[in-house]
Amino acid sequence: MSDNPRLSDVTTGTDTTNGHARPREQENGAPYAESRETTEGRVYHVSGGDWDDVLSDAEHDERMVINMGPQHPSTHGVLRLVLELEGETVTQLRSVIGYLHTGIEKNLEYRTWTQGVTFVTRMDYLAPLANEMGYCLAVEKLLGISVPRRAELIRVLLLEINRIGSHLVYIATGGMELGATTAMTIGFREREEVLHLLEYITGLRMNHAFIRPGGVAQDLPEDYHEKISQFVKVMDKRLPLYDKLFTGQPIWRNRLKGVGYLPVDACLALGVTGPILRSAGLPWDLRKIEPYSCYDEFSFDIPTSTEADCWARYLCRVEEMHQSLRIIRQVLDKLEPGPVMVEDKKIAWPAQLSISSDGMGNSLEHVRKIMGQSMESLIHHFKLVTEGFKVPPGQVYVPVESPRGELGYHMVSDGGTRPLRVHVREPSFVNLQSMPAMSEGGLVADVIAAVASIDPVMGGVDR
């Protein structure tokens, strides 16, 4: 056994000759990791190399290698940045992820298609409804169904309310990290308005699981129009405060201008999307370019800039909140009575769901209705809830425009009641690739501004 516990052949199944981890030779001579048989199949036990070896090329005289994160308050959660510094200049930056791994993609293979919504909503937890939307659109594409119009409009309404809330967190956390504590207080104040409204509509402040395959879980409350209109009025009044407090503020402007520069060709080379790409001059927004749901019915603009720096990203996100309010007003004008779930009883779940007085589960009235109709009705409800519905074999890729960029779901079905494979193209994960390009050659203090401008959510990165 090695003296270094991280390189122990007991814990990693590796040899540690000369202090370097390498796969142990199996009996057949192949350098495979150890494996064992379980009830779910064969499981391999592997580990990566030691970070001292991985970062050996970052060792230079008169340069210092430091860790920023994964517990640093300025790295948006559990992101670790390994910085090589020469003085205060960043000469090399490496992103290290994996500290928040949830295994959500793998978990989806062991849940029904409807249960999967409760998992994906927890990935990018600042944009849970965008995750639900992408997942459900992919399931519905495999099923070959379309949802009722009222459900489509409710989905768009929720997505735009959620987009405003996500951008407010960007301003609040980014401002706090740069020393503008007022940004944090007013940003989270406005976000509370968003969360109160989402709780009023869906029953939960976050992780809603409200968008379901076939529609939405339930209809809007009776006085939704008044509540949402009041929210729009409040936001119309408060958003201009951000222009007064930040946009016209020389300290804020000078702190962001020219920092984290990433031109459009670099964005395209790295696969970067969302406000970062639009701040570089390319008006790429899937709601306009490849409209999904009923976005093609709405009139709104795509904010762009050619500055390609942290300042431009800030301006784009502020304007996107105004555009989301435009869409919300149009949705309210278009909403008409109608069903919010497909009529196919083999898919629709929950079917005519009524929430009990405690906000959880089915109401007694709904249970009495199921129990009193027929034994067949009860059996059907039980099988639909426990087993779920079958989805025809096939595979699809469906992207949506989340607050951080292109959020895509690649979904494979083998014809069963559970996905064979679900892989998510998460914008935070892809956008983090731009960290070295934004930061190397700049000051270490500007790394914080660059990270904030990317607005990563590690729940989506480490899924």
**Distance from C-alpha of 424 to C-alpha of 398, rounded to nearest angstrom:** 10
Q: Which residue has the higher pLDDT, 28 or 173?
A: 173
Positive or negative, the CA dihedral 340, 346, 349, 353 is positive
Mean pLDDT of the chain: 84
pLDDT for 55:
59
pLDDT for 136:
94
> Is 131 a residue whose pLDDT tops 80?
yes
* Confidence (pTM): 0.82
The string of pLDDT tens digits covering residues 325-361 is 999 999 999 998 988 888 887 787 764 555 555 555 5
How far lies 382's CA from each of 341, 346, 349, 376, 385, in Å? 19, 12, 11, 10, 5
The string of pLDDT tens digits covering residues 443-453 is 999 999 999 99
pLDDT for 361:
56
> Is 432 a residue whose pLDDT tops 50?
yes
> Is 224 a residue whose pLDDT tops 80?
yes
Reading the block at residue 135, the tokens are 């997942």
pLDDT for 48:
59
**Distance from C-alpha of 15 to C-alpha of 19, rounded to nearest angstrom:** 9
The string of pLDDT tens digits covering residues 5-39 is 333 333 333 444 444 434 444 444 445 567 788 87
Task: Please give the share of the chain, as a percent, with pLDDT higher than 70.
Answer: 84
> Is 248 a residue whose pLDDT tops 70?
yes
Of 22-26, 109-113, 115-119, 291-295, the range with the lowest mean pLDDT is 22-26
CATH architecture of 104-349+388-461: Orthogonal Bundle (1.10)
- Find the mean pLDDT for residues 310-337: 94
Of 44-58, 95-109, 422-436, the range with the lowest mean pLDDT is 44-58
pLDDT for 20:
41
> Is 74 a residue whose pLDDT tops 80?
no
pLDDT for 378:
72
pLDDT for 370:
66
Cβ–Cβ under 8 Å, residues 205 and 284: no
- CA neighbor of 347 nearest in space, from 314, 392, 310, 384: 384
pLDDT for 67:
87
Q: Where in the chain is the domain with CATH 1.10.645.10?
A: 104-349+388-461
The string of pLDDT tens digits covering residues 256-282 is 999 999 999 999 999 999 999 999 999
Band the pLDDT of 61: cuts 50, 70, 90.
Answer: low
Reading the block at residue 350, the tokens are 């929950």
CB neighbours (10 Å) of residue 274? 28
Cβ–Cβ under 8 Å, residues 228 and 157: yes
